[in-house]
Amino acid sequence: MLVMKFGGTSVGNAERIGTVAKLVKSNQASRPVVVTSAMTQITNQLEEMARLATAQNRKRAIAAKLSALKTVHEEAIAGLKLEPTAEADLREIIQQKIAILDNILKSVTSLGELTPRGRDLILSFGERLSVHLVAAALNREGVPAVAVNATDYLITDDNFTDAQPLFTLSKKKAQKLLVPLIENGTVPVVTGFIGATRDGVTTTLGRGGSDFSATILGYCLDAKEVWIWTDVDGVMTSDPRIVPHARSIACMSYEEASELSYFGAKVIHPRTMTPTAELGIPIVIKNTMNPDHPGTRITPKGDSTATGARALTLMKNLAMITIQGKGMRGVYGVAARVFDTLAVAHVSVLFISQASSENNITIVVEKTDGQVAARALRQAFAAAIRNKRVDLVEYHSGVSLIAVVGAGMRHHVGIAGKIFTALGDRQINVAAIAQGSSELNITLVVESDADTKALQCIHNALFTAKNTKGNRL
């Protein structure tokens, strides 16, 4: 079996939905199962409707947005050019679902409150609508297809807005529901992003969770591969919007892809690799708009022939906090106190570096958490500051992280030298640096106003024109 997941841009209008149908048809021999996101921007619109529903006197605004939602989907139906009966049936399904959504929004307005549970239900309608469009397009192409709501098999906990799948139960239900359809030659078109609790209450897997839905389904069905179709030619050596000459990477490991995802790569959802990695199922990132491009293949071992750095990522809008003091040297538990304090403050640490002299510890957090983190740390170290063990807790907003990732860096000399030479030539200062013991990445902290220039010059240094394969240097 082959799981084929299509993102919002891939199903953004009738023409693209038609392309999706043809792609699925061309892979019919592989017994495909389709997972689809909502149409482009629909989830954002649903989020706005949910927000408006809690406000007073916003009925007209909600009605306008519901009308726009209906128009987008009706235009897509018209563009699919279905047989009259099929088109009428599809229009009725869409109208029924929008009517249900309208009633839910009215209930929220009456209560004056939007619970996480209610929010998940509202946001689920993007996928609940799109699956019917894709299934209809497949049937038009002569491929038997049926829309399937993932709430019928994907069982999760009740952590609404960021639910976690219950794999054993979901696998059993998925095989019972979907395998008979597949064996009968029918393509299930499944809602991404959503699941349900044991009691059948709708949950969502978090924004971007449709990729996660696809790999969960790959795990549940023991699929041969999972293909994630998006709007870029696979995983790139860097963000092509910032580095125009970035190239796609032919093959990489789960480990490398996870690291890139953690440090901000947008192509892959952070949790995407978890289910497939357990079974060693390859993930292929492909471009719906350029389907002949091979994309990027993500496997347990990746490309064993490549060496050195693999790709760069950039995380913006961060803040740096430095705890500094000569009295910190040899004192036990300083780092532990930092983490304990930030855990209590519900702040996640993205980066940590400690000088070999033990005179300072530098951390990086989201900018939105920066002031909270700095205040909490100043309180935690107040006694140490009074006793002169700690000199200061310094806060600096406006930094970015650049991560250089590649499993081959473990055995490749000179990567750090190339990076610092390139930055030095452009007079770009590095505020902090960290490298894990795995040597899988080197992470740098730079000023935000220099981050684009820094990313470009590092990319130029590590991925030269001579490296035509897009592999590591």
DSSP notation for 351-392: EEEE-TTSSEEEEEEEHHHHHHHHHHHHHHTHHHHHTTS--E
- What the block records as the tokens of 146 is 């049926």
**β-pair partners for 189:** 34, 147
Tell me which DSSP letter residue 463 carries.
S
Tokens 């049936």 found at: 89
Q: How many CA atoms lie within 13 A of 147 on its CB side?
A: 18
Please choose, from the candidates 257, 278, 275, the residue with its C-alpha nearest in 3D space to the C-alpha of residue 266: 257
Query: Does CATH number 3.30.9.100 belong to domain 2-230?
Result: no
- The answer for residues whose C-beta is within 8 angstroms of residue 421's C-beta and 6 or more apart is 461
Q: What SS3 state is found at 80?
A: helix
User: How big is the chain, counted in residues?
Assistant: 473
Rounded distance between C-alpha atoms, residue 444 and residue 434, angstroms = 7
Q: What is the pLDDT of residue 437?
A: 60
CATH 3.30.2130.10 in the chain, residue ranges: 313-463
pTM of the model: 0.88
- Looking at the chain, the whole-number percentage of residues with pLDDT higher than 70 is 95
**How far is C-alpha 78 from the chain's CA centre?**
32
CA Rg value for the chain:
25
Tell me which DSSP letter residue 146 carries.
E
Q: What is the pLDDT of residue 305?
A: 80
Contact criterion met (CB below 8 Å) for 208 and 230: no
Rounded distance between C-alpha atoms, residue 289 and residue 276, angstroms = 25
- What the block records as the tokens of 274 is 């978890």
CATH 3.40.1160.10 in the chain, residue ranges: 2-230
Query: Does CATH number 3.30.2130.10 belong to domain 313-463?
Result: yes
Q: pLDDT under 70 in the chain at which residues? A: 207-208, 270, 330, 356-358, 410-411, 436-438, 464-473
Helices (H), 246-350: 254-262, 273-279, 334-344
